[in-house]
Amino acid sequence: MSDHQNLRVVLASRPVGRPKSSDFRFEHAPIPEPGDGQVLLEIQTLSLDPYMRWRVSAAKSYAPPIEIGDVIVGGTVARIKASRHPDWREGEIVLSESGWQRYALSDGSGLRRLDPAIAPPSTALGVLGMPGFTAYGGLLNIGQPKPGETVVVAAASGAVGSIVGQIARIHGARAVGIAGGPEKCAFVKNELGFDAVVDHHAPDFAQKLAEACPDGIDVYFENVSGHVWDAVLPLLNDFARVPVCGLIANYNDDPSTSSGPDRLPATMREVLARRITLRGFLVFDFTDAQEQEFQRQAAQWIKEGKLRWREDVVDGLEQAPQAFIGLLDGRNFGKLVVRVAP
């Protein structure tokens, strides 16, 4: 494969259950030429995020599915390689939605200039980008943690969960993380500064979670569902809030064929008896004004050392399918990105 060609990853077939390599196809194509009012983007970094599993599925969702043969969607950091657009200059670094490919054209809409002086550009895909704002908006708008309350978040070493716990602490709450394996747990406790962390692989996970939450759970930021939800449910306090952000444990399953037991009655019973709020959200639901407020605050918190993050960098667009499959298995460690340009 030559760097003088474009390389694209397109959807070859809709994944059934866990995606397979063969659901993705690599295509070579000439590097496109920008027309009047267009720029040519050279992708530097591609973000891999769990929501992409929804977008390659045919099931009804919040956005139309990607069609077979389409380039897989995704947030990207890109360098402007050539510009025929008056507002954009060659060499500028921008945030774009160019998806799984090396080169893309843009008419400038949706591009955001990035300032490497504030933070490395790839943070625009993580702590300062969609995952960070997802954590901020979901936690503050729906979770509404109060000082002294207990906030629990799963996938706590991941792109969203890591930010949720740190913002909870900034707001005076107690942050309890759930992560998979001792290495991630140590990172959550020692590097991110959560008050406690529990390994969901432990055979006595539910018991350990109860011990880590002696005052119950006031906010559970839902990223995963599955057996984590079963351990959280009996610990939820009266008037607990559950922002529902992701359900990664379910993403490879067809919900219409889930075998028993039926866990809905127990969930609804607790929702009623404990007067719990479950509320789904997407990052697009929050206002632009709030996004600007988030950008300002997060940059400040980073400067003050209050907000940390970890990137899990995979080298080469060729690795994107395997890395994405691993993300759905929980094999990433931190915000997963692909370094597309060397």
Q: Which residues bind a copy of itself (CB under 8 A)?
A: 54, 60-62, 222, 225, 229, 244-247, 250, 253, 255-282, 285
Closer to a copy of itself by CB, 190 or 258: give it.
258
User: Residue 96 and residue 206: Cα distance in Å, rounded?
Assistant: 41
Cβ 119 to a copy of itself shortest distance, Å: 29
User: Residue 158 and residue 219: Cα distance in Å, rounded?
Assistant: 18
DSSP state of 148: T
User: Residue 111 and residue 95: Cα distance in Å, rounded?
Assistant: 6
Closest to 163 in 3D by CA, of 297, 285, 286, 315: 297
Closer to a copy of itself by CB, 161 or 321: give it.
161
Cβ 216 to a copy of itself shortest distance, Å: 12
The CA-CA-CA angle for residues 188, 191, 194, to 5°, reads: 45
Please state whether beta strands 196-199 and 217-221 pair in parallel, antiparallel, or not at all (unpaired): unpaired
User: Residue 278 and residue 274: Cα distance in Å, rounded?
Assistant: 12
Cβ 164 to a copy of itself shortest distance, Å: 16
Closest to 162 in 3D by CA, of 317, 308, 336, 322: 308
As a three-state string, the secondary structure of 181-234 is CHHHHHHHHHHCCCCEEEECCCCCHHHHHHHHCCCCEEEEEECCCHHHHHHHHH
User: Residue 124 and residue 112: Cα distance in Å, rounded?
Assistant: 10
Tokens 């090396």 belong to residue? 102
Cβ 220 to a copy of itself shortest distance, Å: 13
Closer to a copy of itself by CB, 234 or 326: give it.
234
CA torsion angle 327 329 332 335 (round to 10): 40
Assigned token pair, 84: 């025929």
Cβ 38 to a copy of itself shortest distance, Å: 34
**313, 341 in Cβ contact below 8 A?**
no
**Paired residues of 24 in beta bridges:** 11
Closer to a copy of itself by CB, 2 or 256: give it.
256
**Paired residues of 310 in beta bridges:** none
